[in-house]
Amino acid sequence: MKTVAVLGTGGFGTALASVAVAAGRRARLWGRDPAHVARIARTRRNERALPGATLDASIELVADARRAVDGADLVIAAVPAQFARATLAPFRELLSPAIPVASGAKGIEIGTGLRPTEVLAATLGPRPLAILTGPSHAEEIMQGLPASLAIASADVDLARRIRDALASARLRLYVETDPIGAELAGALKNVLAIAAGVCDGLQLGDNAKAALVTRALAEMTRFGVARGARAETFAGLAGIGDLLTTSYSRHGRNRAVGERLAHGERIEAILASMTQVAEGVGTARALGEAGALRDGAMPICGEVHAILFEGKDPRRSVLDLMTRPPRDA
């Protein structure tokens, strides 16, 4: 895998192009806004997504879809889950079915309930697919700070080839053979990170947040196992690793959304002020649409949905969580 095409000029896409260069690969970074792409190419900075970070001079910036994937050995789709279908549709006729695509999105599609790789298969046609997931704030990756990710696929050989193509002294990759669990963990942790932000915004303390994150992991695991995932996946990088990072880091967009909700801001105003996507908002809506929050098995996600879309007071949500009927762990 000598040439890597990254589709999407958000923070994670930009960081992954830098990862590919650090691993000795040729990297192209594609965006659908020609003016934005030209600005990044000229300044070598993506101020919209990663203020202050400088892109390696060898990364080729392209707005032409055909050029982006020409000769690529690996394509990484780093487009948010709710926009992937429309954004990536032009690539269906440009990509050979033999070219593998790795998803860098963490969400569940509104309206269909599909995971990102399922959307990729529907949009780009059948092909080898993998998932890049785990604790991976783009800000730190761009600084060259050490990170570890999971590369998950039903095709173990493909996962190993992607691992070997992207690994470097700054990034360690672990092969994961449970793509369903890895993908669901990445989606759900964003919803649960909103709850962690509410906890911060209400200043509920360390004890409350530790309990919240622990029960969030239980919620993620129950949901995933019921849909064919393996419980142990949620104890790894894709699960607890990513949940911890996004729940505690100052870089966590979903955590920041929750904190602002706790301070009384409306979700519409919060989203309008953001330059990047908080995937947990769309995923919470998708969970509600799919009926996943009806039986009480996901109480934290259910309260996040109520705060986001039903106008529920975050303080009331905390009270309702604390006074639910008791249950065994």
Q: In what order do the strands lie in the sheet with 3-7?
A: 60-62, 26-30, 3-7, 74-77, 101-103, 129-133, 147-152, 171-176
Q: Quick check: 16 and 87 in contact, CB under 8 A?
A: no
Q: Quick check: 77 and 88 in contact, CB under 8 A?
A: yes
* Placement of tokens 């964003």 in the chain: 190
- Give the CA distances from residue 124 to residues 75, 106, 127, 187, in Å, rounded to whole numbers and listed in that order: 12, 18, 8, 21
Give the C-alpha separation, 281 to 110, whole Å: 10
Q: Quick check: 22 and 168 in contact, CB under 8 A?
A: yes
Q: Which two tokens stand for residue 84?
A: 């992937």
Q: Which two tokens stand for residue 268?
A: 């519409």
Cα 194 to the center of its chain, rounded Å? 14
| Position 281, amino acid | V
- Give the CA distances from residue 241 to residues 37, 137, 160, in Å, rounded to whole numbers and listed in that order: 32, 12, 20
Query: Helix-strand-coil percent breakdown of the chain, rounded to 5?
Result: 50, 10, 35
Largest CA distance in the chain: 59
For residue 13, the surrounding DSSP H or E stretch is: helix 11-22
Q: Quick check: 103 and 131 in contact, CB under 8 A?
A: yes
Q: Active-site positions? A: 189
Give the C-alpha separation, 110 to 301, whole Å: 16
- Integer Rg of the chain from CA: 19
